[in-house]
Every structure is written in structure tokens, then in C-alpha cells.
Amino acid sequence: MKMAEERYYLCIDFKSFFASVECAERGLDPMTTNLVVADPSRGRGAICLAVSPSMKALGVRNRCRIYEIPDHIDYITALPRMKKYIEYSANIYGIYLKYISKDDIHVYSIDEAFLDITPYLKLYKLTPKALAKKIIKDIQQTTKIPATAGIGTNLYLAKVALDICAKHSPDFTGYLDEEEYKKTLWNHQPITDFWHVGPGIARRLAKYGIFDMEGVAKFDEATLYKEFGVNAEFLIDHAWGREPCTIAQIKAYKSKNNSISTGQILFEDYGFDDALLVLKEMVELKCLDLVSQHLVTDSLFLYIGYSKDVHKATGGSVKMSETTNSFKLILPYFIDLYNKTTSRNHPIRQISIGFANVVDERYESFNLFTDLEAQKKEKAVQDAIIAIKNKYGKNAILKGMNLEEKATTRKRNTLIGGHNSE
């Protein structure tokens, strides 16, 4: 019987990606340059999206607020440029493709990717570590962006090798197989250093006196399943260094439950009526998304967050009597839900909306009161708006509500991920 081929995966991550890009654009070394990516116009409470490695070495943490940076540290402030970071990420993906087929690459985030390098080791006559170094060197020379790499015999071990081992390695690479994992990391603490183990899971494990992965591996499985449900399976597998999922399986996966959502942190505290205006804008845009993708929905949900935790978040969900992508039909449901659940006396800072049970528009349905002719006319208008926006830009066509003082659509259309796009 032929033994299964041992697989090797790379997990590549870029050191303080946004900050490193800004250093590279200025011809500076991110390992020695003090730089933060932030928008000071939002005040000293603005979050630093990234700090350079040299800032981290001085004890400044990522995602800190500007006022938390010690006064004695001199640093460069760079405005966020999301379009530029996407451009760099695309260029790096192009470097991956020089060595690895797209079928063997899973982009995990803008600055992190998994690569199945198993078939390429014989091709290049290289060890896993040598191939990792070759790719990292190419990225460094081409883009000036420093990278780290984790190498593992499964996706989980590659990720852990990156997160825990590589950062302490002089060559910024780490390696783990199941035996090495148990030998070197079973007693590693804090347990939250491990992928998918957050503070909540750590607290629940601590109730049973479990503070490391060896503790999880050797604990009573029945108790873990009682505590964590089906998620206990992942926790137990990871405690032993096991992960059966492959990149091929990730790429083949299709969700059975489809939903579409969007949210925004408001630029300032909003009152009840002004936040309702923003909600209307968001609903219109998401309805256009449904139309452009030929999708419909019959379920809506709303989340409202308040300023500085002055009030518990509110919201809820509602089931419609029709399955549709019509803005005119969907909006009244959102307005009703908003009026019923939202506090009128507390400043609003976050709005999130979503559509559940999203299906192909072939499954559009109507109730007895649906004006089919009006629906047909609205659909024609929506299609025209989408065509104009696609050709001339998101702000090429706007409604009256988008011109109101507290409206956000025009500004948001110039941003990526809520930040400056240029």
C-alpha cells in the first residue's frame, strides 16, 4: 500500500504591512524607521492602523490610539492609503504565481496567504525552508516589504509556526510537524497565542485548570464537548497539531447559508434622525448590490451601536412577506425595525445591516399587494444606476438624501475599508 505523500504548507505574513508599504514608498527601512499609519484629523483618539516594526520594538502596540504613543518617541505619521496597500498586495500575489499555481494559493487576508508547496519541492529541488526563503527574498527585493513564513505539515501548523515560532527566529521562518509541535509548544503560554483561541475560549478552559495545549489534549473529551459543542472537535485536533482541511477543500467550499452585510463606524456621534438617514443610504446601496448580483432576500437584520458604551447595542431581525431586491419594498421594513428597537436619546456611532436567506433572483416572490408594474420600473432604474456607477464611478449619480449634511455615502465612496483610498 502506497504511503500518502507528506504535505508541506507555507503561511506568509508581512511585518506591519501598511506601515512597511509607507516606509517602502519613502525609501525607508521599516525595521529601523519609526512610522505609524493613522489619520490625525480624526483626533488623538484615532486608531493607528499599523506601526512599523521599530515602533513595536519600542513597546508601541499595533492598533493603539495616537495619544497612547509615548511623547518621547519621534515618528512619522502616514495617512492610510488603502488603494496603495491593495496594489502592493496584488504585486506580491504576482510574485507567488512565479513559483506556485493559483490553485495552491489561499489568500487569507491582504497581508497573509497560505501556499501548498508540496508539488514544487521536487520541481525546484529545494527543501521547504529553502523554498520559503527564496519566495521571501524575492518579495523583499521586489517590493522592499519584509516578510515572515511559517512552514507546517498542515495548514494549522503552518499558521502556528508563523505566529509563534517565526517571530523568534533570526531568519524569520519557523517549522512545525506534529511531533515538533508537541515537543516545543505543548506547554507554551499564553494559550491565546494559538490560532483561533481567543480570550473567551481561554477563560472557559481556565475553569477546568487548562492553560496550555497539552492540558487540552489530555483533558476529558466529553467535558470539552459539553462545554464547546461541535467546536470542541477543532480545539482537540489543534491541541494534537492535527488539521485535515486542505487548500483544495477551502477553494471547493460553498456556503449553504448565504447572507450579505455591511456596516460603518460613523465619523462622529449621530442623533436618531441623522442615523436614520445613513441607514436609508446603506439600505439603498445594498439593494443595488443584490440587483447587480441577481439576488433576492426575504430576511433582514439590523445592529445599532452607541457612543462610548453609553447604551447596550440594539437591533433585531425581520422576515418579509416577499422575496425581493426592491429598495422600495425593503426600506419600510428597516425603518420599522429601526423605530422599534433604536434608542432616541443616546448618541449612535455604528450601524450594520444585512440580508439573510439570499438566493438567486429566480426565486423572487410576491404577495397579493405587490405592484408588479412599479417593480418592473424600479428594476429598470436600478439597472441604469448600476451601469452609470460602473462606468463613471460610485459618485457619478447621487440622490437628494446623499447631499444632506449628515449623509455619508459621498465620503464613503472615496474610501476603502473606511479609510483614505489614495
Q: Taking residues 50-61, what's their average pLDDT?
A: 91
Give the C-alpha separation, 356 to 317, whole Å.
9
Give the C-alpha separation, 306 to 269, whole Å.
8
pLDDT in tens, 86-101: 999 999 999 999 999 9
pLDDT at 401 (0 to 100)? 78
pLDDT at 362 (0 to 100)? 79
| pLDDT tops 90 at residue 23 | yes
CB 281 within 8 A of CB 289: no
| pLDDT tops 80 at residue 422 | no
Confidence band for 257, pLDDT divided at 50, 70 and 90: low
| pLDDT tops 50 at residue 137 | yes
In the chain, the domains with their CATH numbers are 9-15+84-182 (3.30.70.270), 17-81 (3.40.1170.60), 187-249 (1.10.150.20), 259-420 (3.30.1490.100)
pLDDT in tens, 382-395: 888 888 877 777 77
Q: Taking residues 42-48, what's their average pLDDT?
A: 84
| pLDDT tops 70 at residue 229 | yes
Q: What is the DSSP letter of 281?
A: H
Give the C-alpha separation, 182 to 175, whole Å.
13
Confidence band for 69, pLDDT divided at 50, 70 and 90: very high
SS3 of 248, please? helix
Confidence band for 419, pLDDT divided at 50, 70 and 90: low
Which cell goes with 20? 512597511
